[in-house]
Amino acid sequence: MRISGLWVLLIFAAFAISVMLLLLYLTRLGALVHTSIRDRPRRRLFIASLSFFVTFVGVRLIVAAAVYHIGPFGWVEFHGRHIHHLVWGIILLLAVGYAWLAEIGSGSTPTSIFLGRLLAILYGVGAALTLDEFALWLNLANVYWSPEGRESIDAVVVFGAALAAGAWGAPFFRSLRKRK
């Protein structure tokens, strides 16, 4: 029995987001992240970078399973049309951008902190879904597994490095600025 790709994507996203939120709230790891990364924007960058890389790896595995007919995985289709996962990424990025413009998750209440972390996770997920198919929107062709598909990997590495540098490199950049 093949499962609709939409259900696979929704189940994967819900599972990954739930696990990340549980780790942030119910484990010593979450407390460690909170105490060792004191700056809230850097903490959001850290969370976004983790969700970005986890989503990228997960989506690559799901797509490979669908391509090679491993397990119950299938494509997301609507009226016979394949819906690429970059569409879901763009929708997520638009929703997160709107929420941040509306300053959702920017307060200091527990609910606001939770929403801020959730939005950081969703941002990483949306960015990974979109950039995983960067070569598709660059070439306007489905080049996912072709040599041109390498452009997606390059985009993921560059953006992931920027997220990681923002999360982990901020103290370094601040110390450089203070020395001037």
Cross-strand partners of 78: 81
pLDDT per position as a tens digit, 110-135: 899 889 999 999 999 999 999 999 88
pLDDT per position as a tens digit, 133-162: 988 888 878 888 888 888 899 999 999 888
Location of structure tokens 């986890």: 54
Q: Where are the alpha helices (DSSP H) in 27-108?
A: 28-36, 40-67, 85-101
6 pLDDT band, cuts 50/70/90, is low
102 vs 19 pLDDT, higher one: 102
Q: Quote the pTM value.
A: 0.82
Is the separation of the CB atoms in 124 and 101 below 8 Å? no
1 pLDDT band, cuts 50/70/90, is very low
- Mean of the per-residue pLDDT values of the chain: 84
What's 8's DSSP letter?
H
pLDDT value, residue 168: 74
Instruction: Give dist(CA 33, CA 42) in Å, integer.
Output: 10
Q: What are the boundaries of each domain within the chain?
A: 5-168
